[in-house]
Structure 1
Amino acid sequence: MTSFDSKSVNKLSIVSTLVDAAIAFSRGRKKSGLLLVGAAALSSRVPGLGTAVSLFLRLVRRLR
């Protein structure tokens, strides 16, 4: 049985943010895609930033 440590969880968060960015680009949301790519890049220094930006963008889209 494998266990998750903080490094693997952080890498998973970065990958999921990059997947969200790719989906945003494919749907024509260039600004959201760029914001998510930037957040993924900074997630190595600030853990959880990519997830927070992703959730924020989803909330903003829902409230429109």
Structure 2
Amino acid sequence: MKNASVVTTALDGVMELAKGRRKSGLLLLGAAAVSSRVPGFGTATSMLLRVYRRLR
């Protein structure tokens, strides 16, 4: 389950880069790397990024 969170966050980051959103893509890829050591960090970062976009 821990690896699934890292993989999905990394995939989100790759998709963001493919859409041309460089900053958020790199943020999510970094969060995926940190999430391998801190469980849930990538998921929390992804959720906060989505909330930020809705409020913007």
Q: Do they fold alike, i.e. is TM over 0.5?
A: yes
Higher helix residue share: 2
> How many angstroms apart in 1 are the aligned matches of 2:28 and 2:42?
7
Q: CA RMSD in A?
A: 0.6
Partner of 2:9: 17
> How many angstroms apart in 2 are the aligned matches of 1:44 and 1:13?
9
- Residues 31-51 of structure 1: CA distance to partner in whole angstroms, max 9, x if unpaired? 001110110001111000000
Pick one of 22, 25, 28 that aligns with 2:20: 28
- Runs of 4+ in structure 1 off by over 4 angstroms are none
Q: Which amino acid aligns with 2:4?
A: L
- Percent identical pairs in the alignment equals 57
Scaled by the length of structure 1, the TM-score of the pair is: 0.83
Partner of 1:52: 44
Scaled by the length of structure 2, the TM-score of the pair is: 0.94
Number of residues of Structure 1 aligned to a counterpart in Structure 2:
56
- Residues 14-61 of structure 1: CA distance to partner in whole angstroms, max 9, x if unpaired? 010011101110111100011101100011110000000000100101
Q: Considering Cα pairs closer than 8 Å and 6+ residues apart, tell me whether 1 or 2 has the greater RCO.
A: 2
